Amino acid sequence: MDILDLFNKGGPAMWPLLVLSVLSLSVIFERFWFWLRILTQEKEIVERVLDAATENWEIATEIAQKATDQPIGRFLYAPLRLQKGDPETFRLALESTAAEEVAGMRRGEKLLESVIALSPLLGLLGTVLGLIQSLRSIRIGDLGTESTAGVTTGIGESLISTAAGLIVAIVTLVFYRLFQSFVVNQIKVFNKAGNDLELLYRQSPPDPNKTTSAIIRERTQESFTSPRKRRKNNFTKTSAPSSEEAIKNPLANSPPELENES
């Protein structure tokens, strides 16, 4: 017995069940692809932003801005894009963005809940309609004869809609619970990343006077200073006495021979 034959024998309730199954599968595939992209990239984004924030807040802001196509990137970029902000404003930006992103992660859950609730009921409705149609054709005089064999067959076929409704509801419920577990895990990730970023912000807030170009210029200047010049500067700092020391101890810079003669 093929699927098309079962569908025809299931009765009129099979059509709304087909529509619900198509809607459920579309949401499942869309959410599955959504979570696959998030779970494979969010850890790297969090590590890069936090590592950059320990050295330069402008670099951390640029990294978070490039990752705004991901929820975690938008979450971290929201407080970093503030021009001037105190720790309380920083926390409020994190909390408001987290609530918005979590609401976006729950997209499609209401539709899955509706499919889970309606599918068994539609299946049961199809079974009841099939039973009514089958029992209506029974005559009291035909009980116990071969003519009632078709009635029992109709009753068996009317249960197809109930089975179909249960299958749709069970499959949808499995993925619904899976997506809910992903949302709970994301809330934990957001809390940890937000707390770590806020802690770094409170320990070393960004310096508005020191830009990225200034930091790069300082590092470039240090790297291009010759070793001979560095040793010369160190020698002049450590070996050259002050004028007061030269007056108090005139033999401080004299050769060793003069010191021995004295």
Which pLDDT tens digit goes with each residue over 102-121?
Answer: 999 999 999 999 999 999 99
| Of the residues 156, 171, 203, the one at which a domain ends | 203
Contacts of 72 (CB under 8 A, 6+ apart): 38, 42, 45, 46, 189, 190, 193
pLDDT of residue 206: 76
**Cα distance between residue 169 and residue 121, in whole Å:** 10
Domain count, the chain: 2
**pLDDT < 50 stretches in the chain:** 211-262
DSSP-assigned letters across all residues of 244-260: HHHHH-TTSSS-HHHHH
Residue 253 lies in a domain: yes
> Which residues of 25-161 form beta strands (DSSP E)?
none
Q: Do 189 and 248 fall into the same domain?
A: no
Q: Do 154 and 252 fall into the same domain?
A: no
Structural domain span for residue 26: 3-203
**Cα distance between residue 54 and residue 230, in whole Å:** 28
Q: Do 163 and 236 fall into the same domain?
A: no
pLDDT of residue 25: 96
For 214-231, write each residue's pLDDT tens digit.
444 444 444 444 444 444
pLDDT of residue 4: 83
Q: Do 244 and 121 fall into the same domain?
A: no
Q: Do 95 and 196 fall into the same domain?
A: yes
pLDDT of residue 136: 74
Q: Do 76 and 31 fall into the same domain?
A: yes
DSSP-assigned letters across all residues of 167-203: HHHHHHHHHHHHHHHHHHHHHHHHHHHHHHHHHHHHH
Residue 162 lies in a domain: yes
Q: Do 25 and 147 fall into the same domain?
A: yes
3-state helix, strand, coil in the chain (%, to 5): 80, 0, 20
pLDDT of residue 214: 45
Residue 212 lies in a domain: no
